[in-house]
């Protein structure tokens, strides 16, 4: 055979081997990324206890109310600036004597026992604490609400401290 023919045959054979040969090993590549978002959302609502509702000393047989706004119960609500909210109170109908089972009635006037306060704790308005209220947080995201009431111990009421929980629930509208 001639050198040209052998060379041509060798080249053809080499080309055929390359055409039918598979890659030596499958290759894989991976990459990762992080998904990031900054949400300009709504601040969570918080409710912070400020002052218990304090009736002071009440004489048995005589109705009693807090002596001044400084004795009204107060809670500070904070959240999104100017956000509309609803709030409601879970109100007891009696106070129970600490260490006993005796009770005295407590009531909440529908016209003025709910109180709005400014940051200096001055009363700025009233509302009915017996129903859900709709309002808005201030331009700084604050709302200070409070409560007053009337206790009416019987003339035979046993001396002692009487108390019960009053709960405020606030929600964004």
Q: Which two tokens stand for residue 29?
A: 């590549």
Whether the per-residue pLDDT at 35 is higher than 60: the answer is yes
Vertex 114 angle, CA 70 and 51, to 5°: 35
Q: Which of 52, 49, 50 is nearest to 73 (CA)?
A: 52
pLDDT tens by residue, 62-105 = 999 999 999 999 999 999 999 999 999 999 999 999 999 999 99
Which fold does the domain 46-172 belong to in CATH?
Immunoglobulin-like (2.60.40)
| pTM of structure | 0.76
Q: What is the DSSP letter of 22?
A: P
- Taking a C-beta distance cutoff of 8 angstroms, is the pair 97, 162 a contact? yes
Question: What is the pLDDT at residue 18?
Answer: 54
- Identify the band that residue 147 occupies on the pLDDT scale cut at 50, 70 and 90: very high
Q: What are phi and psi of 108, to 5 degrees?
A: -130, 115
Domain limits, the chain: 46-172
Question: What is the pLDDT at residue 15?
Answer: 52
**Rg, C-alpha atoms of the chain:** 38
H-assigned helices in the chain: 3-20
- Taking a C-beta distance cutoff of 8 angstroms, is the pair 59, 145 a contact? no
């Amino acid at each position: 055979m001639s050198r040209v023919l052998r060379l041509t045959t060798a080249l053809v054979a080499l080309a055929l081997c390359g055409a039918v040969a598979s890659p030596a090993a499958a290759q894989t590549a991976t990459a990762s990324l992080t998904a990031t978002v900054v949400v300009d959302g709504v601040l969570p609502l918080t409710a912070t206890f400020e002052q218990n509702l304090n009736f002071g000393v009440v004489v048995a047989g005589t109705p009693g109310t807090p002596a001044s706004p400084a004795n009204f119960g107060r809670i500070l609500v904070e959240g999104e600036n100017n956000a509309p909210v609803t709030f409601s109170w879970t109100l007891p109908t009696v106070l129970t004597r600490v260490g006993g089972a005796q009770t005295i009635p407590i009531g909440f006037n529908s016209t003025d026992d709910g109180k709005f306060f400014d940051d200096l704790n001055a009363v700025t308005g009233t509302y009915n604490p017996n129903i859900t209220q709709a309002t808005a947080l201030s331009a700084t995201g604050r709302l200070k609400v409070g409560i007053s009431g009337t206790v009416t111990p019987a003339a035979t009421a046993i001396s002692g401290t009487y108390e019960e929980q009053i709960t405020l629930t606030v929600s964004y509208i």
